[in-house]
Structures are given as C-alpha cells and as structure tokens.
Structure 1
Amino acid sequence: MSKTTRRRALSDIRADDLLHALSPRRAGPYIRLARLDRPIGTWLLLSPCLWSIALAELAMGRSPDPALYLLFALGAVIMRAAGCTVNDILDRDFDGRVARTATRPIPSGEISVRQAVIFLAALLGLGLLILLQLTPTAIWLGVASLALVFPYPLMKRITWWPQAWLGLTFNWGALMGWAAVTDSLAWPALLLYAGGFFWTLGYDTIYAHQDKDDDALIGVKSSALWLEERTRPWTAAFYLVALSFFTAACWLAGAAWPAYLGLAAVAAHFAWQVGSLDINDPANCLLRFRSNRFVGWLFLAGLLAASPVLGA
C-alpha cells in the first residue's frame, strides 16, 4: 500500500459523504474545513447549550422557546466551523504528518492559509450577528469565549492535557444558554459547566487514542499518551464526576423526576462506553466517541420531559 493510499484509508474524511455529493464541487474543501460532513463535534458543542437553556426554562417555569434553541443550533454550527478552521490553520504542519488528518484541506493544499483566514473572518462575522440576538450577559460571555477558542490548538504542544482546555471551551455554552434565558448566571449553570468539563475529558481522551502512535512520533501531547493503559478507570472516574455535577445542577434547579431518568440513561450509556472500550482499536474508539451524541440527546430529553409546562 502506497503512502497516499494509506493516508486516504485512514483519513477522517468520508469520500462517499452525502453532503459532498449534493454540494457544488468548489464548496467541498470548505465543507471539509468546517467539518460540516462530520457533525459529531457540533453535537458535542451544542449539547451543553441546549441542556442549559432547558434547565433555565425549567427553573423559571417557562415553556421551551424553539427560536432560542434554533439560534444556538446555528451558532454551534458556525462556531464549531470557526474553531476547526483555527485549528487547521495552526496545526497544518502537524496534520500533514498524521495519517488521519493528512488529507484535510489545508495540509493537502486544497485551501491556502489565506483562503482559510478569509473563511474564518466570514464565520466570525456570522457568529457575531447571531450573538447580538442574545441577552447582554450572554453576549459578553460569547465574546469571552474567544479567549478559549483561539489558544486551544496550541495546548497539545505544551501540556499532556489539551483535553482539559477543550473541556473549558466546548462547554462554555452551559453558561451562555442559562444567560440567554435569565440574563444572569447561577449555580445550576456553573455545575452544568463543570459536569460538561469532565464529560469532555472522558470522550476526548477516547478520541485521542486514535492518533496516539503518530502523536508520539511527532511530539504532540494528549491525555491518551499520558494515561495509556490507565485510560479505562480514569475515563470511568471522569464520567462519574460529570454525572455528579449534572445531578447537582438538576437538583438546584428544582428539576422533576424525568430529568433524573434521563441521567440514569446517560449513566447506562457511559457504562457501555467504558466497559466496551478498546484503546488499541481506532475504530472502536471512534465509535464510542461519536456515541456521545446520545448523551446529549438523553439528558436533553429528560430535562424537556421534566418541564412543568410540558407536564412533569
């Protein structure tokens, strides 16, 4: 197998993706740069936002506001695309040396750095338009999030725990969702943020095991390399702490029993992830990483079912 063929075989880009088939050919590289063909990252970014909105509405006794949910969904797509673009600009040299990422648009030469910067500016402009629709507290929180977004790609160069920085970044929506409903912050939102942080430590450590061999060769750090064979018990601990914080957030917000039923389903899913994890099988790790979208849906379903307006 040639080097090029191997890279295509191990690439995280799917050649048969439906979105590519339905899109203009020139749009393909930008779709891949924004990861629109791989929506799991958007789900992981969006879930804490939706949990927080639902929990705040529950605490305030309000009915769900579909427009707010949609606004955050659009924002998550755009800001995830912006984050991926920043990541690929800064990581272009590393990505070119890792089999899974070598065919991404910038290291493969499909998109120049200049084109990527222009694309990033357009995404940030769209993100700002969405942000300005929110409450003042949520707007300031959104601006503050940029201090986390831009340095993230550099963390793997300086710490064994870039997953911790990702946890701080990807769960910022737990604060923004609450602020978008109440124009303030409160303990349930902070506890939800803390729970999301440990959730991210778990799922992104699993994800990092796909690249551990290449990362070790090129000098990139990750929690997967630091934990190695200790990954299973540590991941179980991360998920247990996440569940504890989620439960505390629901209790402080006065959530009814369906919220805890949703968390019980999340706990069962976490147990499956940890129990069936094979850190030496990249396909196994990717499947368990992607399955975390169900964590988002199960918890959200429990929170919506717990709403006094919807009948709990």
Structure 2
Amino acid sequence: MPVSSVASPLLLSLSASSSSFLSSSSVSFLPSSSSSPHASIATGRGKPAASILRALRAEATTLPVISFTGEKVGEVALDLKSAPPSTARAVVHRALITDRQNARRGTASTLTRGEVRGGGRKPYGQKKTGKARRGSTRTPLRPGGGVIFGPKPRDWSIKINRKEKRLAISTALASAAVANDSFVVQEFDEEFATGPRTRDFVAALQRWGLDPKEKAMFFSTELDDNVRLSGRNIGTLKMLTPRTLNLYDILDARKHFFTPAAIDYLNTRYGTTVFDEYEDDTDAEDDGEEEVAEEQEEAAQDETEEAETDSNS
C-alpha cells in the first residue's frame, strides 16, 4: 500500500496552532479536530544544515504528576530540544514519511508474459481466420497472460540522519507537552500485582481524565507483565518503551502520559546536551577542511618552486 494513502489522515492533521511552542509562529504536531483537511505541509529533503541544529533550543515544560487514584501530587520538568519554527514542520514530516516508507515490505510481484507458464505454441494461423494476429496465448491482452508494468520486489527504504530523526521525536514530544496534552503518572505496577485486569486499567484512565475512546500513548522505561496484559486489549492505547518509541504513535495520540522514570530518560536522551556533540563535530570538520586547504596550498607552492629550479638548471 502506498505510503501516502497510509499516512495521509495523520499528515493532514499536522496543522498550525496558536500554542506558545517555538515562539509566536509555533506549530503543533498533534491531531486536532478543528484542523483543516487542506492544510499544506512543507517537505524537507536532504541532510540538515549545521546552522539548523545550532539553532535548536530547549524550553522546559512543567507536567503535573498524578497518583493512581487521580490526585495531583506534584510537578516535574520536561526539558527537550526542539527544532526552530522555520524547519520544525519539515523535520517532523520527513521523519514520519521515512518511518512509514521504511515499513513497506516491497514483496508485491507479478509475472510478465515471458514468466507466465505456457504460450509456447502459436494459437492459430497468421491469416485467413478473420481474427487479430496472435503469437502466444500468454499475451497481456488475453486472460491468463502476463502483466504489463506490474510491481516487482523492491526496496522502499530511504535514509534519514540519526540526529534528524531524534530531533523530530523530541520536537513532537515538546509540542505535546506545551499543548497540555501530557502528564505524568506515578508508578502503579503494585496495583496489578495480583494479576492483569483490563477493567481496572480502563477505570484508571478515566480517573486520570482520559477518554478510553480517544487515542492515548503511555510511555514507560519498563512495562510490567500484568500492566502490559491489562492495557493491550484497549485498542486506543499504545504502550511504548524506549525500544518501541516512534514518531507515528506520538503524532497519532491525542493524550500522552509517562512514568517518572520515562521523564528522566527523555530528558537524558533528548535534552539540552544531546546535540552538543554534533556542534563540536561540525567545528572539527570545519577545522579539518581548513587544514586540508592549507596543505594543498603548500603542496602547490612546492611544485612551483621545483618547476622553477628545473627550468633554471
């Protein structure tokens, strides 16, 4: 199935919002019921320039911490890097298209007229039949024949830079946090120590202010077996770990809730110091280019001096 047909409902929901995320010209990447179906989406192609990543900034957002019973017991800061307003939409769009396209198996295959079994004998004479000329019964113009320009196995995968993909995820999470669609729930593994109970999990979602009929994403560093079994039958709930965290589920969910350990993980992996290494590497690359240029100039001067010496001699 083409990527455009799979992800189009989600992509059309990436409309501009009036949240305070990424200054006044902010963008919300979460589904909105009031978004226009004809919203335009800018696409980003190629490797991001170093100036883009140097323009990143982190805006700390305070998320409420809720107990299992639904009472607010505190607050926690979520401090993530986010793309600048001019490139945020393009970065998220490119990462989403890459994820969806890389998920295609590319195993569709059809047979050409040369691969279909049979058709070796000429079905009837060339003339005196009143019919069209036929050289084979496996022509694409007849039933049972080959397929013209049919699909063949192919690799649909495309490349995206690791830091660009990480930036898209952190930008989407920061947008969800600023839009007040995220909160933190205290660890509740002990509540399901006696066994999995989906009914109790649904009741907990309602106490936390979530509608079981709306899509939600639960992110935890580790999922207890009973908790996982209790929530897997809820079709609108995605339960993710660091291994399964992906951009599509982040954008597809209307509400996001995390555990305290998950917040620490996000701040560590997508926080303020994530892209410092990239900036250092970029500076090192610039210095290396200058050194190479100097070496080339020195080599050219040496060759010129040698040529002059040979001519004089």
TM bucket normalised to smaller: under 0.3
Q: Which has the higher helix share?
A: 1
Task: From the CA coordinates, give the structure whose radius of gyration is larger.
Answer: 2
The structure, 1 or 2, with the larger RCO (C-alpha pairs under 8 Å, 6+ apart) is: 1
TM-score (norm 2): 0.25
TM-score (norm 1): 0.25
Q: Which has the higher strand share?
A: 2
